A and B are shown apart, each in its own frame.
Chain A
Amino acid sequence: MMPLFDFPGGIHPPEHKAHSSAVPIRLAPLPPQLHVALRQSMGNAARPCVAVGDRVAKGQLIASADGRLSAAVHAPTSGVISAIAPQPFAHPSGLPELAITLDSDGEERWIDRQPLHDWPQRSGAEIRDFLAQMGIVGLGGAVFPSHLKLGVSPLETLVINGAECEPYISCDDRLMRERADAICDGIAVTRHALQARQVLIGIEDNKPQAIAAMQAAAAAHGFSVVAVPTKYPSGGAKQLIRILTGKAIPHGVRSTEHGVQCFNVATVYAIGRAVLHGEPLISRIVTLTGAVDAAANVEALIGTPLDRLLALAQPHRDRKEVVMGGPLMGFTLPDLAAGLTKAGNCLLVKSPALFPPRPPAQACIRCGDCASACPVSLQPMDLFWFAKSKNFDKAQQWQLFDCIECGACSYVCPSQIPLVDYYRFAKSEIWAAERDKNAANLARQRHEFRQMRLQRDKAEKAQRLADKAAQAAARQTASHSAAANVATNVAPGADPKQAAIAAAMARAAAQREAAPLPEQHSNGLNDAKQAAIAAAMARAAARKTAADEAKAASGQPPAPPPASSGLDDAKQASIEAAMARAAPRKAAADEAKAASGQPPAPPPSSSGLDDAKQAAIEAAMARAAARKAAADQARANQQPDS
């Protein structure tokens, strides 16, 4: 028996799992129409790659991932695409989301499934790419794309989460009881991809049958099945990792930094189906429970309208709202016409008899019950106070963002205060403030850059005039060959210019990557703007370089700086140019060339041309290249091509 660890706090609410866990998983009947939302994971919604009227096969890709955090979406059954339009969506906001409506033809005709039979020979990266195409996301509720969790290997411990600690839910319990072998196959693939040394499967000890089934299946693979004490929220990834390994991983730190990765049992099952059978993630097990006559677990296609699913369980007449998820972390569904999503592990029907409405909140008496229940040792009563008084700085200082919103504090509060609502409110207010700050920063940057540009143009004009006069004098005395000599020295000077452009483009790309998630809708526009700014800065840098070269070529000392405040700006411009040059030169330059599709700037032809003129031409070409790159990017962002 391996030693187990404990996490702080926790609660023991009534379990109510037996209602739904008693009967085997049933297959939900094929609905005539499915609404497959494009937002099936964290990150961006997927981009549709089919058109209305298309006939699709079961398992066919219908929307591809858009960006790193996004996941591909596949046709849950065969049929005809009848609409791509906003539909009700299973989200607390109640806002509609773009969904692909699929009229099923009843044939369940599969695409040509291509499993990865030789997975033991494949590398982790290959399996990762394969899973990305299969649209596998975490089925425990967070719907984090699974392939992103396969990045780090080798790994010390792979933790498989079969705790299922929320009351009422039993989909993982049934899955483990009935399909333990398939789960273990999936674990084997995952373990191979991660090169994990050991596998620990944690299951709460209130599921003895699941534990027995998993033990029988895991024995052949050498995985350890560990019964963990029943205590909510032991199914939180970090809580389970703590119980099994003793490692306490704080907020903002990835478990892989401590050599641990955690997957839900349903997720590894889906990984197994994908790799061994070539089936993308198009269905999941859903618990139907609460105020219903026939509580059950059904295997349902993603996109099945929730009201059709619910009807299978025969809800009571006095039913009120329906919760997606468990009674502690679930949210009330705004519209049951929405299609099932990959996150939908449970539909919990509420009735006044089973879920009496909460009495009105009373004053907080600082009894500290919430602090004793908090699994991350926060001081919830203090956070409540700070959130209520909108003292958000203090809330952050009290580590508001370590809160996992498990609801244990709300559950135990004798004053019946919906504490988690206050924390969510505080978090969203802080996020909103940060967005505003970022927007203001961007505006300030733009303004400062404009000021800089105006000043610099003025300074340059003065300098050009001075140069011209100096050159006129120089031309009369300098010999032809000497000038040519200097011109060949300029050749390496082409590099900095390109580096400047490349650096600007790299910056633009980095900004696009780093753009905060909530801004994704307006991203295209912002990126275009940012790219334009970057391009303009690159132009400035190029012009400056050109001017410098002109100076060098003419062999004249630089013109005396203008007496005005333009001095500072000119300096600043030269610093910027220097910084751009300092950017990783060669690699960036190559990348930029490849990306912009521009031929490399021709080497300066010597002799014949006036050097200053030549430099000016080069600067103009750099400008054109930068502008072209910016325009391309803007176009790419504004028109999602499929």
Chain B
Amino acid sequence: MTAIHSTHIAKPATVSTVMLKVLAALLPGIALSVYCNGIGILLQLLLASLTALGAEAAMLRLRGVAVLPALKDLSAIVTAWLLALSLPPLGGWWMIVVATLFAIIVAKQLYGGLGNNPFNPAMAGFALMVVSFPAQMAQWGSPQLPLDAVAQWQWIFLHTLPAGGVPDAISSATPLDVLKTGLRQGQALAGLLPSSSAQGLIALGWLAGGLWLWQQKLIPWQTPLAMLAGLLALALPLWLWQPAQYASPLLHLLQGGTLLAAAFIVTDPVSGSSTPKGRLIFGFGVGLLTYVIRVFGNFPDGIAFAVLLMNMTVPLLDQYTRPAVFGHRRERS
């Protein structure tokens, strides 16, 4: 193929700049996460990044693809960060490493690398961990953990605490998990609500990043809004019907990484739908399924499974939601 006939000018955008901006958009949330949960999350991010780069480089080499250009697109780092932000901040080092290896090697490179993966790699890695290690995945550090940086790192790497540390403080379950378990045991909803606003604060960080990405035209509005709409479509009526039994829509919006997913995960272009209508359906489906799995399913959070399930529908969505071509009437294909 000759380049003689090519378009002679192009926007200066590259995949690397796109990914770099996504990483930048994650920073407010990360900063708030450090403020609330301590420095451990930074170690998780570092571990994930190094693992992702190593795994990506090795796989590219094995596949016979030029390593450096593909590494420079930064997509592996994005996957790594999203995983690190989804897993428990004080989970053992091996957890994030295994999750990242699976995401990069199996969910991404074995399918042909960037652009070819049908499933969101970060969510595939998360799903693997939650299925394989449900107990460890449910242990989140309780808010305002009385651990300093050294103690957190020691816990992550060695699973030991300095003298006087209380392991129980670390192994508290997530608010959504507490809620579900408590409700099943017949406890009153009011007593199960999270006592701190840390999760909500971090969620606002994700929201800020998402808004900036939208303003930069890097994510469409359809998918995130449709996802939130899908979630609310179940949360709101059920809560209005039985407020004592079902948590408020606000709790569903702010807890369990809903906004992280809305801004950064359902908007993954590779594994999501690429038509305007398809994006609406995709996002709405993720929202609905998330709620169903959260409230009626067995897992503490449903986002990862909801995303993976909707990923499967993308080829169909793209086929049947193609916009009508200029001047042609919409046709059934």
Contact = CB atoms under 8 A, between A and B. Distances in A.
Interface stretch (B12-20, B281-289, B292-300): B12-20
A92 B5 contact: yes
A248 B323 CA distance: 14
Interface of B: 1-11, 13-15, 17-18, 69-70, 73, 75, 113-116, 218, 220, 269-270, 272, 274-275, 318, 322-328, 333
B275 to A, nearest CB: 7
Contact of A7 (B10, B11, B15, B326): B326
Interface in A124-177: 167
A160 to B, nearest CB: 21
A414 B5 contact: no
A559 interface: no
A352 to B, nearest CB: 12
Contact of B7 (A238, A359, A407): A407
B160 to A, nearest CB: 42
Contacts of B333: 397
Contacts of B322: 379, 398
Interface string A331-370: 1101000000000000010100001001110111111100
A92 B4 contact: yes
Given A250-B327, A332-B5, A414 B274 contact: no
A253 interface: yes
Contacts of B11: 13, 411-414
Contacts of B325: 250-251, 376-378, 399, 402
Given A362-B15, A365-B269, A348 B6 contact: no
Contacts of A413: 10-11
A382 B7 CA distance: 19
Nearest to A9: B326
Given A250-B328, A327-B8, 14 more contacts: A13-B9, A248-B326, A250-B327, A251-B327, A358-B3, A363-B115, A365-B269, A366-B270, A376-B327, A378-B325, A379-B274, A379-B322, A414-B15, A414-B18
A420 B18 contact: no
8 contacts: A167-B9, A366-B272, A368-B275, A371-B275, A377-B323, A402-B328, A418-B1, A424-B5
Interface in A1-54: 7-8, 13
Contact of A363 (B8, B114, B328): B114
A457 to B, nearest CB: 51
A55 to B, nearest CB: 39
Interface string A404-433: 000100111111101011101100000000
A420 B318 contact: no
Contacts of A368: 220, 269, 274-275
Interface string A372-412: 00011111011000000000000001110010000100111
B70 to A, nearest CB: 8
Nearest to B329: A250
Nearest to A398: B322
Given A251-B327, A399-B328, A365 B115 contact: yes
A323 interface: yes
A390 to B, nearest CB: 12
A359 B10 CA distance: 10
B22 to A, nearest CB: 11
B310 to A, nearest CB: 15
Interface string A583-618: 000000000000000000000000000000000000
Interface residues of A, number: 59
A276 interface: no
A167 B115 CA distance: 32
A248 B327 contact: yes
Nearest to A7: B326
A235 interface: no
A291 B275 CA distance: 39
Contacts of B323: 8, 377, 379
Nearest to B2: A421
Interface in A198-243: 238, 242
B185 to A, nearest CB: 45
Contacts of A381: 274
Given A363-B113, A397-B333, A411 B9 contact: yes
Interface centre among B69, B325, B326 (most CB of A within 10 A): B326
A362 B69 contact: yes
B215 to A, nearest CB: 15
A59 interface: no
B14 A330 contact: no
A360 B5 CA distance: 16
A327 B11 CA distance: 12
Contact of A330 (B8, B15, B113, B220): B8
A94 to B, nearest CB: 8
B174 to A, nearest CB: 32
A249 interface: yes
Contacts of B3: 358, 418, 421
Contacts of B15: 362-363, 365, 414-415
A421 B73 CA distance: 23
A116 interface: no
A410 B7 contact: yes
Contacts of B5: 92, 331-332, 420-421, 424
Which 8 residue pairs across A and B have the least CB separation, nearest first? A250-B327, A376-B326, A363-B115, A407-B7, A410-B7, A327-B8, A248-B327, A414-B13
A367 B269 contact: yes
Contacts of B4: 92, 331-332, 334
Contacts of B8: 323, 327-328, 330, 348, 350, 355
Contacts of B17: 414
B144 to A, nearest CB: 40
A411 B18 contact: no
A305 B13 CA distance: 38
Contacts of A327: 7-9
A364 B112 CA distance: 12
A397 B220 CA distance: 26
Contact of B9 (A328, A375, A379, A399): A328
Contacts of B10: 358, 410-413, 416
Contacts of A376: 325-327
A526 to B, nearest CB: 29
A308 B243 CA distance: 83
